[in-house]
Amino acid sequence: MRYRLILPLLLTGSFLCAQEKYHAVILEDVETFTMDSPVSGSFTVRRSVLVNDKAGEQEAVFHEYTDQFRSLSAFKGTVERSGAKPLKVKKDDLQMVSIASGLAEDGFIVGYVPSVAYPYTVTYEYTMTFRKGIASFPSFVPVTGEKVRLEKASYHLTVPAGTTISHYAQKVGEVRKEETGKIDVYHWEVPVFEGFTEESMMPSWRTVVPNLSASPVDFTYAGVKGSQGSWEDVGRWCFGLKEGIGGLPDDVVAQVRQITASAGTDLERVRILYDFLREHTRYVSIQLGIGGYKPFPAVQVHKSGFGDCKGLSNYMQAMLEAVGIQADYTLVNTDRARFLKDYSGIGQMNHVMLCVPLPERQDTLWVECTNPSVPLGYRHKDVAGHDVVLVTPEGGAPVRVPVYPDSLSRRIHHIDIDLREDGSAHIDIRKELYLDYTEGWLDFREWSSEDRLSGLTQGLKIQPQDLKVTGIMDNFRDYDGSRFCPRMEIDYSFDTRQYATTGKDRLFLPATPFNNALTVQRGTRQNEIVNGSVFTLRDEIHFHLPEGYSLESLPAPVETDSEWGAFKAIVSQDEGGVTLIHEFRLKRFHEPAEQYDSYRTFVREVNKAYGKELVLVKKP
């Protein structure tokens, strides 16, 4: 009898030790959605999580979105720690936070974050009630953080018999369907998942963790019937939602026509109205309309001066229509470039913009209505190359937003360093930014002096003094066709007390004032190595040498080229100066984890070249 007691204790101890290598362990996650009718249903969840440290806490956080279409109807939870009395969590203990800053009537996040010492186990059991329509079933993503083990998880979907559904699943077992006469039940069981490790240049989370999205093909939402059997059907439903909300009052139409009266082309008219939009409205991230699908009427946005992506796009579309310019309301997912395979559920779209054909120029404008800093016509990195759906009277039309040539994505530094004999220096820099490199600087003119200092000195190896911005130039208002490339130049200067290290008759100076070294991880790579974008970084550095000094020796040029990227470094000397050029280009790749040693070798070669010092010697 004694040995029978000891053996379970030993096994339990081994089990707990094994679990400590994870930030959290999901002991159970069982989620069930029951569709009672096309417009009502309930979603029940039982989730139990062992949390070992702060990094695993996100798996134990409870949060659900509620609005006029869904509410939290039941909730109970417990938080347990070894040697302590279990803490019961009631519905009254939950926090409710408005997501619209008081601008929307019913959008809230209901949540709870355990606040106890680690390790602890939290268990939630709750029910969400759905009413007025179901366009998408709750998505199933049982693991969201790295180094989280999933032991038991399943998703169960019950619908009235004959209801057609569509779904997309990744790392979830094969679906099992039961037909009982009145209902159809779908079951998905998730195999034990050992977790993943967060790494740079890794594949999309959707390909790494178990996840499931499902929707009814035919649905009714807020009294509006629709289908999402195809993107054409989705677009037709969205077009119906917009009926009657795009009109503007006669006085607003007259105002719009008046401010565009002097324009000679449709492009000029669009530019004038785009400027009007940014001057008179502001973006607010709120779920307005029916469940976040229907935009606010154009007249309401005009009066209030605010709206989300749907409301602002609809308002801009209405102004364009008032001056005779067609624009298509456009659905897009900014996080993912491609539609999920064989799944046209509207729930996978998270943004709206406008597509404006310009037949007179044989051109198409893609207009971002939510960020007034984005240059007109610029296809920013969250939409360029993405699949989108144009909402037209004939239905949805899937198209792809054009991409830019890889050669346009680049950052160039022109650096002029006036070096003094004591190692101090005066430095002038021109920062040239192109395409997506401009995106973090689009509103630079409005930055505070503190933000400018922080942005312009980021990555410097040296301590700057008395930084001054001496010039700003951009072409953001110069759209001239589909190959338009945003460009920005920022000129600035500063002094530094020590650029070079002094020695007996010598100065030792870094080849560049910027820390351009690439980073790599140690240890064994876990994920595939993925880079989906190509860019070029170029530094052109000219040193004015102190009188009486020269370069001790001319470094040999460096040039390397591999499947990962290319790098070159060239140093030349002229009368009284030294010029150095660094150029780095990262290529597009998708390689297995086993190739990471090859990537490390490439990075070491680049970093060695970036880290070289130049040595100046005083002439006798």
Q: How is domain 407-618 classified at the CATH fold level?
A: Jelly Rolls (2.60.120)
Model confidence at 482, pLDDT cuts 50, 70, 90, reads confident
Q: How far is CA 212 from CA 188, 234, 547, in A?
A: 9, 20, 69
pLDDT at res. 528? 97
Q: How many residues does the chain have?
A: 620
pLDDT digits over 318-364, tens only? Answer: 999 999 999 999 999 999 999 999 999 998 999 999 999 999 999 99
Helix (H) or strand (E) holding 560: strand 558-561
The three state secondary structure string of 482-548 is: CCCCCEEEEEEEEEECCCCEEECCEEEEECCCECCCCCCCCCCCCCCEEECCCEEEEEEEEEECCCC
Closest CA to 48 of 75, 72, 78: 78
Model confidence at 576, pLDDT cuts 50, 70, 90, reads confident
pLDDT at res. 286? 58
Model confidence at 19, pLDDT cuts 50, 70, 90, reads low
Rounded to an integer, the average pLDDT of 251-271 is: 96
CB within 8 A of 379, min separation 6: which ones?
Answer: 366, 401, 402, 403, 404
CB within 8 A of 235, min separation 6: which ones?
Answer: 331, 389, 390, 391, 392, 395, 396, 397
- The answer on pLDDT for 14 being more than 80 is no
Model confidence at 20, pLDDT cuts 50, 70, 90, reads low
Mean pLDDT of the chain, nearest integer: 92
3-state secondary structure of 352: strand
pLDDT at res. 4? 35
Distance CA 95, CA 536 (A): 47
- The answer on pLDDT for 600 being more than 90 is yes
pLDDT at res. 206? 87
Contact 210, 143 (CB under 8 A): yes
Q: Compute the C-alpha angle 346/350/353, nearest 5°.
A: 105
Q: Which of 85-99, 210-224, 274-288, 559-573 has the lowest mean pLDDT?
A: 274-288
| Other Cβ atoms closer than 10 A to 529 | 21
pLDDT digits over 422-472, tens only? Answer: 999 999 999 999 999 999 999 999 999 999 999 999 999 999 999 999 999
Model confidence at 289, pLDDT cuts 50, 70, 90, reads very low
Model confidence at 1, pLDDT cuts 50, 70, 90, reads very low
- The answer on pLDDT for 5 being more than 70 is no
pLDDT at res. 509? 93
Token pair belonging to 40: 């009502």
Q: How far is CA 310 from CA 108, 238, 359, 386, in A?
A: 19, 11, 25, 18
pLDDT digits over 488-534, tens only? Answer: 999 999 999 999 999 888 999 999 999 999 999 988 999 999 999 99
Rounded to an integer, the average pLDDT of 597-603 is: 96
3-state secondary structure of 409: coil
Distance CA 191, CA 209 (A): 11
- The answer on pLDDT for 113 being more than 70 is yes
The CATH number of the structural domain formed by 228-400 is: 3.10.620.30
pLDDT at res. 619? 84
User: Residue 332 burial by CB count (10 A; 0-12/13-18/19+): exposed, middle or buried?
Assistant: buried
Spans of all domains in the chain: 20-224, 228-400, 407-618
Helix (H) or strand (E) holding 604: helix 596-610
pLDDT digits over 365-424, tens only? Answer: 999 999 888 999 999 999 999 999 999 999 999 999 999 999 999 999 999 999 999 999
pLDDT at res. 83? 86
- The answer on pLDDT for 18 being more than 80 is no
Distance CA 535, CA 437 (A): 9
Q: Which CATH class is domain 20-224?
A: mainly beta
Name the pTM for this structure.
Answer: 0.90
pLDDT at res. 106? 56
Share of the chain above pLDDT 70, in %: 94
3-state secondary structure of 207: helix
pLDDT at res. 2? 35
pLDDT at res. 221? 85
pLDDT at res. 194? 96
Q: Where are the alpha helices (DSSP H) in 155-289?
A: 205-208, 231-241, 250-259, 266-280
Q: Compute the C-alpha angle 366/370/376, nearest 5°.
A: 40
DSSP sequence for 451-471: HHHHHHHTTBSS--EEEEEEE
Rounded to an integer, the average pLDDT of 587-601 is: 97
Q: Which of 107-116, 181-190, 389-398, 498-507 has the lowest mean pLDDT?
A: 107-116
pLDDT at res. 53? 96
- The answer on pLDDT for 102 being more than 50 is no
Rounded to an integer, the average pLDDT of 5-23 is: 50
Distance CA 608, CA 615 (A): 16
Distance CA 267, CA 504 (A): 65
- The answer on pLDDT for 101 being more than 80 is no
Distance CA 279, CA 296 (A): 19
